[in-house]
Amino acid sequence: MSGEVLLLALVVGAANWGFRTLPIRFGLGAGGGGGVLARFLAAVGPAAIATLFVASSLPFVQAGAVLAPVAGTGAVVAVWLWRRSVVLATLGGALAYAAGFALAG
């Protein structure tokens, strides 16, 4: 690895570490309360997860395949409703997607 690539990694890695740890260290978000910042932070989690789900799903939608994504998504919802387990729902969704992919292929 060249010195420039290593320097780039160190700069970006240091920024990532700061982004992830320093707001906690400085006590941002700690405690209760119902102010504007508290409500904003309470909504960040659901907003982030919804956004990341959409962002990670968009390539599948844009690819135009139907059977595998529908099978995978349906399996995640079904397994979640059945067992209330994130682990099982995730694995079930991936298995169903793979099965749908194989059948469609």
Partner 1 sequence: MDDRQGETFGAGLVAAVPIALGYFPIAFAFGVAAVGAGLSPLGATALSVIIYAGASQFLALALITSGAALPVAALTLIAMNLRHVLYGPALMKAAGEGVGKRHAWAWGWGLTDEVFGAALGELARGRRFAEAWMFGLGLPAYAAWVGGTLAGALAGDGALAGWPVVEAGFSFLLPALFLALLLSILTRPQVPVIVVAGLACVGGTLAVSSTTGILGGMVAGALAGLLRRGA
Distance (Å, rounded) from C-alpha 28 to C-alpha 22?
Answer: 9
64 touches partner 1 by CB under 8 A = no
> Smallest gap, in angstroms, from Cβ of residue 64 to partner 1?
15
Which helix or strand (DSSP H or E) is residue 24 part of? Answer: helix 3-25
- Cβ closest to partner 1, residue 54 vs residue 66: 54
- CA 55 vs CA 3, 61, 62, 104: distances in Å: 33, 10, 11, 24
70 touches partner 1 by CB under 8 A = no
Interaction with partner 1 in 31-50: which residues (CB under 8 A)?
31-32, 34, 36, 38-50
- Displacement of CA 50 from its chain's centroid (Å): 8
66 touches partner 1 by CB under 8 A = no
Interaction with partner 1 in 76-95: which residues (CB under 8 A)?
76-77, 80, 84, 86-87, 89-95
